[in-house]
Amino acid sequence: MPKRDTHIQVPEKYADMLFMPHHVSGNHPQMANDARAAQFSSFAALSGFEEEIEETERLTDAREGLDSTQIYEINRVLNIIAENITLQPLVNVQYFLPDPQKEGGSYEEREGRVRHINADNKYLEFIDKSIIPFEDISAITIVDPAITTILDL
């Protein structure tokens, strides 16, 4: 039993408990120190809240409308690509990529060889089988020297 320190002021009703030996259960094994520490570790009551705040703060661009001149130019270039599809022309496309999580999206740029133009479903397909819907295209140019030389673009 520990030696009593006479300098400690303890209320009388708890004095007898202050120097009692630590109780060890005969029925339950003693908890490991790391398990005891886990009991007192921080608790995230609002799990996922931080990610939700970050998602809300993430900015997206609004889709910009095209004027008739831009639409005409996109259609003209798509027709040239369709006429020369066997050459798998190299193009540069600026397009709107809708955000899967929220309203809006971002404008992206892609350069690649066109494999197919699907006029019925209105999309452009690259040789890696990725597609861009016509409605998402904001600008398109042919950068393939073989076609630009033929057409004098």
Q: Is there a single domain that holds both residue 92 and residue 116?
A: yes
Q: How far is CA 151 from the centre of its chain?
A: 41
Q: By residue range, what is the domain housing residue 88?
A: 68-151
What CATH number should be reported for the domain holding residue 101?
2.30.30
pLDDT per residue as tens digits for the range 76-85: 999 999 999 9
Percent of the chain with pLDDT over 70: 85
User: Do 131 and 117 touch, CB atoms closer than 8 A?
Assistant: no
Distance CA(85)–CA(117), nearest Å, equals 8
Same domain, 41 and 16: yes
pLDDT digits (tens, 9 = 90+) for 37-76: 777 767 666 677 777 777 777 778 888 999 999 999 999 9
Same domain flag for 83 and 102: yes
CB within 8 Å of 131: residues ≥ 6 apart: 123, 124, 125
Q: What is the pLDDT of residues 116-134, one digit of tens each?
A: 999 999 999 999 999 999 9
- Are the C-beta atoms of residues 65 and 137 closer than 8 Å to each other? no
| Same domain assignment for residues 40 and 80 | no
Contact 125, 117 (CB under 8 A): yes
Total count of domains within the chain = 2
b/e code 40-70 from CB counts within 10 Å (16+ = b): eeeeeeeeeeeeeeeeeeeeeeeeeeeeeee
Residues 53 and 91 in one domain: no
Per-residue pLDDT tens over the stretch 84-100: 999 999 999 999 999 88
